[in-house]
Structure 1
Amino acid sequence: MKLIEQHFRVTAALIVREMSTRYGSKPGGYLWAIFDPVAHVAMMTVIFQAIARMPALGLSFPLFFASGYLPFTFYQRMSSFMAGTMKANKTLLSYPVVSPFDAIISRFILQFMTDALVAAMILLMIIEFGGVAMPMYIAGMVQAAGVAAVLGLGIGTINIVMFARFPLYEQIFGIINRPLFMVSGVFFLPETLPNPFRDFILYNPLVHIIMWFRSGIYSEYRADGLDKGYVIEFALVCFALGLMLLTVSTREIREDRL
Structure 2
Amino acid sequence: MKLIEQHIRVTAALIVREMSTRYGSKPGGYLWAIFDPVAHVAMMTLIFQAFARMPALGLSFPLFFASGYLPFTFYQRMSSFMAGTMKANKTLLSYPVVSPFDAIISRFVLQLMTDALVTALILMMILAMSGATASMNTAGMIEAAGAAAVLGLGVGTINIVMFARFPLYEQIFGIINRPLFMVSGVFFLPENLPNPFRDYILYNPLVHIIMWFRQSVYPEYRADGLDKGYVIEFALVCFVLGLLLLTTSMREIREDRL
3-state SS, counterpart of residue 28 of structure 2 = coil
4+ runs of 1 displaced by more than 2 Å?
Answer: none
**Residue 72 of structure 1 aligns with which residue?**
72
Please name the residue that 1:200 is paired with. 200
Bigger mean CA deviation after superposition, 128-137 or 41-50: 128-137
Letter in 1 for 2:172: I
Q: Corresponding residue for 1:155?
A: 155
- Name the CA distance, whole Å, in 2 between partners of 1:249 and 1:34: 36
CA deviation profile, 1:114-150 (whole Å, cap 9, x unmatched):
0000000000000001212110000000000000000
Residue number in structure 2 paired with 1:182: 182
Alignment of 1:15-34 (within 5 A): 15-24=15-24, 28-34=28-34
The answer to whether residue 215 in structure 2 is matched with residue 215 in structure 1 is yes
3-state SS in 2 of match to 1:195: coil
Output the CA distance in 2 between the equivalents of 1:58 and 1:8: 44
Q: 1:27 Cα deviation (Å)?
A: 7.4
**Partner SS state of residue 50, structure 2:** helix
**Residue 28 of structure 1 aligns to a residue in which SS?**
helix
Match of 2:167 in 1: 167
Shift of 1:224: 0.2
* Counterparts of 1:170 and 1:67, CA distance in 2: 29
Opposite residue 51 of structure 2, the aligned amino acid is I
Counterpart in the other structure of 1:100: 100
CA distance in 1, matches of 2:26, 2:76: 21
Counterparts of 1:216 and 1:29 in 2: how far apart (Å)?
31
Question: Match of 2:14, as an amino acid?
Answer: L
Q: Check 1:26–1:170 CA distance in 2 against 1; reply closer, same or farther (3 A cut).
A: farther
> What whole-Å deviation, never above 9, does each CA across 1:182-212 have from its counterpart, x for those lacking one?
0000000000101000000000000000000
Q: Distance in 1 between matches of 2:132 and 2:10?
A: 43
Identity of aligned residues (%): 88
> What corresponds to 1:253 in structure 2?
253
Q: CA deviation at 1:29?
A: 1.0
Q: In structure 2, what is the Cα distance between the partners aligned to 1:189 and 1:104?
A: 34
Whichever residue aligns with residue 23 of structure 1, its letter is Y
Alignment coverage as a number of residue pairs: 258
Match of 2:138 in 1: 138
Give distance in 1, aligned partners of 2:28 and 2:227: 40
State the SS of the aligned residue for 1:187: coil
- Cα distance in 2, alignment partners of residues 220 and 36 from structure 1: 29
Determine helix, strand or coil for the equivalent of 1:51: coil
Whichever residue aligns with residue 226 of structure 2, its letter is: L
TM-score, normalised on structure 2? Answer: 0.99
For structure 2, the 5+ residue unaligned runs are none
SS in 2 for 1:144: helix
Show the counterpart of 1:225: 225
